[in-house]
Structure 1
Amino acid sequence: MKSDASKKGLEYLDNICADARLNVWHISLLLAIVRLAYRQNENRIIRISRRKLMHMSHIDTAPTYHKYFKQLQEFGYIKYIPSYHPGYKSTIELLDPFFRQSK
């Protein structure tokens, strides 16, 4: 029997795959973010670096990364909280646009 967390995770992935606005680069970035969240043992707030996300999502150019990263923010998948301090990483809050639409 599947746990509630794994059911919610599968539902989230199904919703991402069904979203016609997303292409392979969006999905690659989202998977990299979720992978970082898993590694950090976090559910919502993830510490990130652009270099690591680009590497994990196999995006080679900064303009491509910024384009799709910004679109994920516009589509309501993530909330980016920049850190301007060199000693602290920026964070991303994972949002679920599908649950917000149903409320």
Structure 2
Amino acid sequence: MKIDISKDGLEYLDRVCNDERLKVWHICLLLAIARLAYLQNEGRIIRVSRSKLMKMSHIDTTPTYHKYFKQLQNFGYIKYVPSYHPGYRSTIELL
């Protein structure tokens, strides 16, 4: 299997690997977001649900999920746009 990573993707991975603030749960969430982006064939804007991200990142408790998800926003890795409409999913933009 060949993995093709763009220059931007490699720079993003380097940024994640070199950021000492990130813990295993941050990286698990970013990996889950990247997997959803791949499955949705999206580059930057990904439609998400909390339950799906929690399951894919193996995070079992809602407070833990919210803590690390919020930190990813504060650290500048993602931009979260919530949707309060039941027919539309919230989105995440990879920054």
Q: TM-score, normalising length from structure 2?
A: 0.91
After TM superposition, give the deviation of residue 10 of structure 1 in Å: 2.4
After TM superposition, give the deviation of residue 8 of structure 1 in Å: 2.8
- The structure that has the greater radius of gyration is 1
* Residues in 1 aligned to 2:11 and 2:76: alpha-carbon distance in whole angstroms: 17
**Deviation string, structure 1 residues 27-52 (Cα, Å, up to 9, x no partner):** 00001001100111111100000000
Q: Which has the higher helix share?
A: 1
Are 1:90 and 2:56 an aligned pair? no
Q: TM-score, normalising length from structure 1?
A: 0.85
Question: Which segments of 5 or more consecutive residues in structure 1 lack a partner in the other structure?
Answer: 96-103
* Residues in 2 aligned to 1:83 and 1:50: alpha-carbon distance in whole angstroms: 12
The alignment yields a C-alpha RMSD, in angstroms, of 1.5
Question: Which segments of 5 or more consecutive residues in structure 2 lack a partner in the other structure?
Answer: none
* Residues in 2 aligned to 1:10 and 1:94: alpha-carbon distance in whole angstroms: 13
